[in-house]
Each structure stands twice: as structure tokens, then as C-alpha cells.
Amino acid sequence: MARGKDVAVGDWFDRTPLIQDQVPSVWVQSVLYKTPVRAVDRAVEALARSAELAVMEDGVCKRVVLSYGDCSPARCLEDADLEGLRAKYGWIVEIRYTWFGENLGSARGHNRLAKDCDLEFMLVLNPDIVIAPRVIQHLLEPFTRTGTGMSEAKQLPLEHPKDYDPVTGDTSWAATACAMIPSEVFRHIGGFDEDTFFMYCDDVDFSWQVRLLGLRVVFQPNAVVLHDKRLSSTGGWDPTPAERYYSAEAALLLAHKWSRPDLVERILTDFEAHGDENQTRAARTYRTRVAQGDVPEPIDGDRRVGVFDNGYYAKHRFEL
């Protein structure tokens, strides 16, 4: 269901630290799409090392479960591949795998996986993310402080340019390429808005829902991960046509949902007058969805949380 109900700030959570004396367990979930086995192995190897340090050396976590959901037309991992992964890493990470048999998209795929989560924290992870050894510790640490609802890792080689408080880490939103979320918070919000966002901006929307609860979204620059994205010859991000289309569609839907009709009209005008084929297609799709009533009810009408800054969803510290 596309969520449109506005949640009053602080009406649910008492803002006490979620980690106090207890040692939590972490559920890690990742959605695959035509991901090579060698890439999965590399990601699990890095996760296993982080789990080893978190569980066996630092004692900040007592259990790590990794759940893969596969949206590919054919399975990325066959039984023999899973047996190999479990033989190498099963001593520290419990590995689960589900082939969905259809392309659910990021939001719906993660929601499907999260239904089986029975641990205290969820680490949402892209399959092309390779985490540094102490990422689990660093992402759990903000939850020992008051009012934290989500924590995010720093991506390399392209660090996201959005602004954050250098002392508290507070930021507008967290990219779920690698982000830690209390399972209780995830369930209370209802997961990602899968009916509105297929890819892109589902994490922005979810982060703002966290902040509507009166909780903080925290960037952790010491939680470093490699995001293995394709770069252009100049060192910038080189998005695929699908990424261009879904990001354009998501921009319109996010502005609609977060009560910015002025931005919707501005984006539509730009896409229809000057956009490439992906942007003009996104504009057509948006107009069709509006005509069919297939858009969420706008929320945050007094603009307490949603940030739209020169086409971005946070003030940026530098240009990509």
C-alpha cells in the first residue's frame, strides 16, 4: 500500500537509546538482480570478517543472519553455490536465499525479505557493497545514543555529497546501499513504500518517515564501504538507462508525496521541454498515474521534514 498518512513527530517512540545493556543481533538483507556469483562471494567474505569482529572480538553483536532475495529471471545462486558459501562463511554468518522468480524492485524486494526478520536490527545492503571490517560496530554505535532511528555508511569511491552535522552525524536522509535500521522502527513505518517507488527515492522517503517519528538519521563516516559502481572516464557516476528512468520517475513521485506540487510542475515542465527519452517517459508515466489515482496521498504538508534543495534531497557539500 502506498502510505500517505502523516505521522505526528514523536508520537510513538520515547527516544531512549535502543542499545543499552543488551547485545543485539543483526539481520542483513540484500536484493540480487543478475549478480555474478563471484560478486556475492566477495560481499559475503567482507561481511563475514565484520561479523567475526563484531561477535567474537568486540562483543557488540551476538548473531548475524544474511538473507538474499533474488529478483533475477534465472537464479543467481544455485544449490552448489549456496553450499560453497555456507561451507566458507557459515561458521559466523547464517546464509539464507530466496529466488522470487520476478523483478520486484528494490522496495518490494526488501519488504518481502524483511517479513522473515526476527532480529533486533536490519542492515540493508546493496549486493555490490563490500564493507570494511568494523562497519557493523560503527553502524550499531549511534543506537547507544538518544533518539537514533537509522544509521548510514560512507560510500567509496564516490562519497555521497549530502550534508551532515560533523559532530552528531545528523543528516536529511540515509542511502540504503548500506544502512542500519532497528527492526521495530522498520515495522512501525511499514517498510519501504513499494507501491510508489520501484527503484530510487524509497530510501529518501523511508528516512523522512523515520524523522517524522521524531528520530534521527545519522551518517557514520567511519563506517566505510566500497560501492562497486561503474564510473565514467572522468571519474563520475555513469548511470544506466534504467537508472536514469527510475530516478526521474522517483523524483516526481517524491515531490508529490512530500507536498511539493510546485516542484512537481517544475520538474514536469523541464522533463517535457528539455528532457532525454528517459525523462520524457517518466513524465508520461507520472501523468498516467495521477489520472488513474495511482499516487500516494501527500504528507508533511507543513514541510517539517522533507528537504528539496536545488534538485537534491539535502544540502550538498560538494558537486559530483
CA–CA separation, 67 vs 261, rounded Å? Answer: 38
* CB environment 132-142: b (16+ within 10 A), e (fewer): bebbbbbbbbb
CA–CA separation, 310 vs 73, rounded Å? Answer: 38
DSSP letter assigned to residue 42: H
> Which backbone phi and psi does 67 adopt, to 5 degrees?
-120, 120
36: CB partners within 8 A, 6+ apart: 76
Other Cβ atoms less than 10 A from the Cβ of 144: the count is 12
CA–CA separation, 47 vs 102, rounded Å? Answer: 26
pLDDT tens-digit profile of 71-106? Answer: 999 999 999 999 999 999 999 999 999 999 999 999
Q: Which of 194-208, 231-245, 305-319 shows the lowest mean pLDDT across its residues?
A: 231-245
Q: How many whole angstroms from its chain centre is CA 36?
A: 21
Domains of the chain and CATH, by start:
9-227 (3.90.550.60), 230-308 (no CATH)
127: CB partners within 8 A, 6+ apart: 30, 31, 32, 33, 35, 39, 40, 43, 68
pLDDT band at residue 199 under the 50/70/90 scheme: confident
Alpha-carbon distance values, 228 to 23, 38, 119, 128 (Å): 31, 13, 28, 5
158 - beta bridge partners?
none
Q: How many whole angstroms from its chain centre is CA 168?
A: 21
pTM of model > 0.85: yes
Q: By C-alpha distance, which of 141, 197, 191, 149 is closest to 174? A: 149
Quote the radius of gyration of the chain (alpha carbons, Å).
Answer: 19
CA–CA separation, 6 vs 303, rounded Å? Answer: 11
Residue 292's Cβ-count burial label (10 Å; 0-12, 13-18, 19+) is exposed
pLDDT band at residue 235 under the 50/70/90 scheme: low
> Which backbone phi and psi does 64 adopt, to 5 degrees?
-130, 125
C-beta of residue 66 within 8 angstroms of C-beta of residue 77: no
Q: What is the pLDDT of residue 123?
A: 98
Pairing, β 216-227 against β 129-131: antiparallel
Q: Which of 16-30, 137-151, 279-293 shows the lowest mean pLDDT across its residues?
A: 16-30
pLDDT tens-digit profile of 213-227? Answer: 999 999 999 999 999
